[in-house]
């Protein structure tokens, strides 16, 4: 490629044309603008006047310059200029394109892919084999070197992962490499412990070139809740200039709609790699936050999912007695308060007040009779957690004695028991290890916990399922019952230390945590999660998008506590029984450091200049200059002002318009925006007949004219005074406004969409009527014998159409206004079908008609081409001939009467049909 001043030309010989520019200059200069000839009687007065200066008989220099520039732009444009032509890269042998493929790549992934593609296409031009390997998705076996263009096609299938490569896997892969190849390494710019080793491995096989984005990698640490505020911190790999980065907390609002709930700004100081901010958020709002995201960073590291750690539950404590003031340690709720205070928001008060607050959990400490039990039960069914503690009061009451109380998990035996006390035999009992299926599974039971009094559960068939903790002798200590969405838990001991030492132990706090009464402030450790299974709920992609986890397998709690994001444990939100734990790309201790490549490795930035073809720009410039030239020439010749400026101005306007790209749909949108209210108004201020737009212009016009004729007839003869008919587009227009739709069936009309059918069915169900007209005179009875008949079957297939029958003699349609027995349109004689009468319709003695169905038939189907018979033009004269002579006019009249009857039927319903009862009513009135 011929290169000049950094611009390459694909067809450089065209540049010779530039030599002709001076000649053009001279030529243009010699030709002044053409004069305008004007007839003007006043010329007699002009004779003898001479021009002041003679300069303008030559083209002005600026116009010349304009034209020369335009021509130069054309010549340059066609010479095919390319800005920043890529220098050819020499090389031979296989090429390995190595991608880190981590979340840090995600921010500029498309650009990396572009770069990789450029490298591959270059390799393809040079006939080199190549391979693309992502370190997060290492191939089995040797490096798959193939033709470079084959890899180019597979590039889109390579995606970054939201974790970093496993150190040992990378080391193993690096050690197993063989053969000689050149390496092109697209690094993500974050220092990793395995990088140096891998680089050494790669250099054993050939040269290594590294590409790195100059953009610093940024990440968001998990949010912590400290000192009554949410602490946020972001970190970046390379210390840079002072910068502020926004962070947004997302969550669902009370309506369940995902939206940004809080925003904050994290300021990076000059040269600092960490920025912190604290965000004071009301508990209601804080509990709704599901994740924090750095603004304008597209990477999994910019998203930090919050789990229960950030949430503080509202727990209501209700104590049975509060009479012994001063004896705090004996207060039934003292230990609960101590245990919950750090991790939950406590609500104290009477039952009434507590229910108003709608807490997450309610703890009843030794409460026997619950006021507002029904309301409480409803709350539990809606997902509430009710935890009850036993105590002397509960033991002495009759609650849940003979029958299970709805607010108790089990029945209780009278009195309870006491072991190991002064008046009893035996030792205080310890706790048995928790079973596998218990929510407490995995918690270690301290030796010193002992129980010396408890309430006893009645043995029931369901008891064993409900026990989640028991004493050494197998008697239940904690029982649980699920009610609706929520659960009721009963600790068979008191909440203070009177009956057991459980409230004094750390186990008590852990048990409350497991029950999700409280939440932990920090990330759980392995011991906390021992024995639990966690299912991924949502997982993060490398780009920071949330995805449903689908069928990913569950993870053992202990493993999860230790897990780093990896193929088995993708970052995301994990759900346990009642708790959630998040695994984020950036943990609390993660640090980011920029890569440090040895000096011998060439490192290029990602933002290398790209080839830009300038041809389009230059040709556009030339066109613009020529347009300017037209304007300038018009102005010079005096055609932009003065008489006949209209033409010149119009030309200028056309040029201006041509230069502005016109959005094609603007008009339609405008129409849609501006037309809707008028349609609704037009259709509802007066009765309006409507026809369905079929797409066949002629047919639509006929239908419109037909309805116009019918509307006129109605106006003249009846009290129905319809306005001008409206054409209805089933896809876009609202149908609810129209009592009646005329639907001429055209063999070529498109089948309406599902949404349109849904609208039509609603329309039919809510009292609308459609008159289907196949316009084929029903030549062979009903069936698929004609195109339109077949089309009708397809059109009507998805509609809710009741069973049909030909109009019976006594149908209300025969007498709503005129007495009719046949319903001709332009054609006469074919049957017209309406909704069938119910099977039990019988003629009452002495009545002329049967008591037919009460409803208006939702459809009327025929083939008589009524619209053509009704059609009139603006002056009111018929548009189509009907029949012959007087008989034909009579037929048109009957067709009109059918139309009148039909509209009457639509608008008055069964009113006429009910007239059959008039004699009986009169009879009853004694008249």
Partner 1 sequence: MTTSATLRARAEDLASPLPPLLADAQHLAQSVLLGAHGRRRAGQGDEFWQYRPAMVGDEARNVDWRRSGRSDAHFVREKEWQAAQSVLIWVDNARSMSFTSGRNVPQKGDRARLLAMAAAILLIHGGERVGLSGFGLPPRAGPVQLLRLASALGEAEDVPDYGTPEARGMLPRSRALFVSDFLGDMEPVEAALTKAADRGVKGALVQVLDPEEEAFPFDGRTIFESMGGSMRHETLKAGDLRDRYLARLAERKDRLRTLCRVTGWQYECHHTGEPPTPALLWLYRALEHVQ
Q: Which residues contact 360 (CB under 8 A, 6 or more apart)?
A: 313, 314, 315, 384, 385
Q: Phi then psi for 906, rounded to 5 degrees?
A: -65, -45
Minimum CB–partner distance for residue 634 and partner 1 (Å): 9
* Nearest approach, Cβ of residue 48 and partner 1 (Å): 8
Considering only residues 616 through 645, tell me which ones interact with partner 1, judged by CB under 8 A: 636-639, 641-643
Binder among 11, 18, 22, 32 for partner 1 (CB under 8 A): 32
- Fill in the per-residue mask, 56 to 95: x = in contact with partner 1 (CB under 8 A), - = not in contact: xx--------------------------------------
- Residue 142 CA to its chain's centroid (Å): 42
The residue within the footprint of partner 1, chosen from 23, 30, 31, 45 (CB under 8 A), is 45
Using the contact rule CB under 8 A, the part of the chain among 39-47, 323-331, 662-670, 752-760 near partner 1 is: 39-47
Residue 915 in tokens = 């007239």
CB of 542 within 8 A of CB of 105? yes
Specify whether the CB–CB gap between 201 and 175 falls below 8 A.
Answer: yes
Nearer to partner 1, 67 or 224 (CB): 67
Locate the DSSP E strands across 762-894: 769-773, 804-806, 833-835, 859-862
Q: How far apart are the first and last CA of the chain?
A: 111
C-alpha atoms less than 13 angstroms from C-alpha of 480 in its C-beta half-sphere: 17
- The yes or no reply on residue 30 touching partner 1 (CB under 8 A) is no
Q: Measured from the CB atom, is 147 or 651 closer to partner 1?
A: 651
Q: Does 31 bind partner 1 (CB under 8 A)?
A: no
* Candidate list 5, 23, 26, 54; residue touching partner 1; CB under 8 A: 54
Partnered with residue 804 across adjacent β-strands are 835
Assess contact for 444 and 505: CB atoms under 8 A: no
Q: List all residues 6 or more positions away from 719 whose beta carbon is below 8 Å from its beta carbon.
A: none
C-alpha atoms less than 13 angstroms from C-alpha of 254 in its C-beta half-sphere: 2
The reply to whether 43 sits near partner 1 by the rule CB under 8 A is: yes
Report how many residues bind partner 1 under the rule CB under 8 A: 30
Q: Does 911 bind partner 1 (CB under 8 A)?
A: no
Which residues in 294-353 contact partner 1 (CB under 8 A)? none
Interface pick for partner 1 out of 40, 61, 715, 911 (rule CB under 8 A): 40
Range in contact with partner 1 (rule: CB under 8 A) among 44-52, 392-400, 496-504, 805-813:
44-52
Shortest spacing between CB 63 and partner 1, in angstroms = 13
Q: Which stretch binds partner 1 (CB under 8 A): 41-49, 227-235, 508-516, 609-617?
A: 41-49
> Closer to partner 1 at the Cβ: 637 or 650?
637
Q: List the one residue from 30, 42, 461, 874 that touches partner 1 (CB under 8 A).
A: 42
Query: Which residues lie across from 183 on neighbouring strands?
Result: 96, 208
Residue 909's CB: how many other CB atoms inside 10 A? 16
**49 contributes a contact to partner 1 by CB under 8 A:** yes
By the rule CB under 8 A, 38 interacts with partner 1: yes
Q: Does 35 bind partner 1 (CB under 8 A)?
A: yes
Q: Quick count: other Cβ atoms within 10 Å of Cβ 379?
A: 20
Contact 503, 335 (CB under 8 A): yes
- Confirm if 510 and 446 have CB atoms less than 8 A apart: no
DSSP string, 815-831: SSSS--S---SSS----
Segment interacting with partner 1, rule: CB under 8 A, options 54-62, 160-168, 308-316, 588-596: 54-62
Nearer to partner 1, 54 or 674 (CB): 54
Using CB under 8 A, pick the residue from 17, 33, 430, 521 that binds partner 1. 33
Instruction: Give least dist CB 750 to partner 1, A.
Output: 49
For position 566 contacting partner 1 by CB under 8 A, the verdict is no
Largest CA distance in the chain: 145
Q: Are the C-beta atoms of residues 862 and 832 closer than 8 Å to each other?
A: yes
Pick one of 26, 53, 254, 927: the residue that binds partner 1 (CB under 8 A).
Answer: 53
Closest CA to 904 of 714, 729, 716, 773: 714
Cβ of residue 69: shortest distance to partner 1, in angstroms? 23
Q: Is the dihedral of CA 897, 900, 906, 911 positive or negative?
A: negative
The verdict on 647 binding partner 1 (CB under 8 A) reads: no
Identify the helix (H) or strand (E) that includes residue 488.
strand 486-494
Q: What is the closest distance, in whole angstroms, from the C-beta atom of residue 650 to partner 1 in the complex? A: 15
Q: What is the contact surface with partner 1 in residues (CB under 8 A)?
A: 32-47, 49, 51-54, 56-57, 636-639, 641-643
């Amino acid at each position: 490629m011929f290169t000049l001043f950094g611009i390459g030309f694909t067809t450089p010989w065209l540049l010779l044309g530039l030599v002709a520019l001076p000649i053009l200059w001279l030529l243009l200069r010699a030709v002044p603008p053409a004069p305008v000839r004007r007839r003007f009687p006043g010329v007699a007065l002009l004779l003898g006047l001479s021009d002041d200066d003679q300069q303008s008989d030559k083209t002005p220099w600026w116009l010349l310059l304009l034209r020369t520039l335009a021509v130069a732009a054309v010549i340059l444009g066609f010479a095919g200029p390319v800005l920043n032509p890529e220098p050819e890269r020499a090389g031979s042998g296989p090429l390995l394109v190595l991608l880190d493929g981590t979340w840090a790549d995600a921010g500029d992934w498309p650009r990396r892919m572009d770069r990789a593609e450029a490298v591959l296409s270059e390799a393809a031009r040079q006939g080199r084999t190549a391979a693309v390997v992502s370190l997060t998705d290492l191939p089995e076996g040797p490096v798959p070197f193939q033709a470079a263009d084959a890899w180019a096609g597979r590039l889109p299938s390579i995606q970054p992962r939201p974790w970093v490569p496993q150190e040992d896997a990378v080391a193993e892969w690096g050690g197993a490499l063989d053969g000689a190849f050149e390496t092109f390494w697209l690094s993500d710019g974050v220092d990793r412990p395995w990088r140096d080793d891998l680089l050494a491995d790669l250099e054993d096989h050939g040269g290594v070139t590294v590409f790195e984005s100059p953009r610093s990698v940024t990440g968001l640490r998990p949010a912590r809740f400290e000192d009554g505020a949410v602490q946020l911190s972001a970190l970046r790999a390379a210390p840079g200039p002072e910068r502020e980065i926004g962070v947004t907390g997302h969550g669902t609002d009370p309506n369940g709609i995902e939206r940004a709930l809080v925003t904050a700004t994290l300021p990076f100081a000059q040269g600092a790699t960490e920025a912190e901010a604290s965000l004071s958020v009301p508990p209601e709002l804080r509990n709704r936050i599901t994740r924090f995201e750095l603004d304008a960073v597209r990477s999994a590291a910019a998203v930090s999912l919050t789990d229960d750690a950030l949430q503080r539950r509202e727990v209501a404590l209700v104590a049975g007695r509060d009479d012994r003031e001063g004896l705090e340690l004996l207060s039934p709720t003292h230990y609960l308060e101590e245990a919950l205070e750090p991790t939950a928001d406590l609500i104290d008060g009477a039952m009434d007040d507590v229910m108003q607050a709608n807490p997450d959990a309610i703890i009843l400490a030794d409460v026997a009779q619950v006021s507002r039990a029904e309301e409480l039960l409803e709350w539990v069914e809606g997902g509430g957690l009710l935890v009850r503690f036993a105590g002397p009061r509960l033991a002495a009451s009759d609650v849940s004695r003979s029958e299970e109380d709805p607010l108790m998990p089990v029945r209780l035996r009278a009195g309870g028991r006491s072991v190991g006390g002064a008046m009893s035999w035996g030792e205080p009992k310890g706790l048995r290890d928790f079973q596998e299926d218990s929510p407490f599974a995995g918690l270690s039971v301290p030796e010193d916990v002992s129980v010396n009094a408890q309430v006893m559960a009645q043995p029931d068939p369901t008891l064993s399922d409900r026990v989640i903790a028991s004493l050494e002798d197998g008697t239940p200590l904690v029982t649980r019952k699920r009610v609706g969405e929520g659960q009721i838990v009963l600790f068979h001991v008191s909440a203070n230390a009177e009956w057991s030492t459980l409230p004094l132990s750390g186990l008590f706090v852990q048990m409350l945590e497991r029950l999700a009464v409280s939440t932990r402030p920090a990330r759980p450790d392995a011991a906390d999660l021992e024995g639990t299974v966690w299912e991924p709920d949502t997982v993060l992609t490398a780009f920071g998008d949330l995805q449903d986890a689908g069928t990913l397998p569950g993870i053992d709690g202990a493993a999860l506590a230790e897990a780093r994001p990896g193929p088995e444990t993708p970052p995301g939100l994990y759900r346990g029984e009642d708790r959630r734990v998040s695994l984020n790309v950036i943990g609390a201790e993660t640090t980011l450091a920029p890569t440090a490549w040895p000096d011998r490795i060439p490192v290029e930035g990602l933002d290398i200049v790209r080839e830009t073809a300038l041809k389009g720009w230059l040709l556009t410039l030339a066109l613009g200059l020529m347009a300017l030239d037209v304007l300038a020439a018009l102005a010079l010749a005096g055609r932009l002002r003065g008489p006949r400026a209209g033409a010149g101005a119009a030309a200028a306007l056309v040029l201006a318009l041509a230069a502005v790209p016109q959005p094609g749909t603007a008009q339609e949108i405008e129409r849609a925006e501006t037309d809707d209210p008028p349609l609704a108004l037009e259709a509802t201020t007066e009765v309006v007949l409507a026809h369905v737009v079929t797409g066949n212009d002629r047919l639509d016009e006929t239908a419109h004219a037909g309805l116009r004729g019918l509307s006129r007839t109605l106006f003249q003869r009846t009290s129905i005074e319809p306005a001008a008919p409206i054409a209805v587009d089933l896809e876009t227009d609202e149908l609810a406004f129209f009592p009646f739709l005329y639907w001429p069936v055209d063999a070529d009309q498109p089948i309406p969409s599902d949404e349109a059918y849904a609208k039509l069915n609603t329309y039919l169900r809510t009292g609308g009527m459609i008159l289907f007209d196949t316009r084929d005179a029903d030549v062979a009875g009903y069936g698929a014998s004609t195109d339109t008949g077949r089309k009708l079957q397809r059109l009507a297939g998805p509609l809710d159409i009741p069973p049909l029958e030909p109009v019976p003699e006594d149908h209300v349609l025969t007498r709503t206004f005129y007495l009719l027995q046949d319903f001709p349109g332009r054609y006469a004689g074919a049957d017209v079908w309406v909704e069938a009468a119910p099977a039990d319709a019988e003629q009452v003695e002495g009545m002329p008609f049967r008591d037919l169905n009460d409803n208006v038939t939702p459809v009327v189907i025929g083939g008589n081409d009524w619209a053509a018979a009704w059609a009139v033009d603006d002056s009111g004269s018929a548009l189509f001939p009907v029949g012959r002579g007087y008989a034909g006019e009579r037929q048109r009249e009957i067709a009109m009467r059918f139309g009148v009857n039909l509209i009457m039927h639509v608008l008055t319903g069964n009113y006429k049909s009910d007239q059959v009862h008039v004699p009986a009513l009169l009879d009853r009135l004694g008249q």
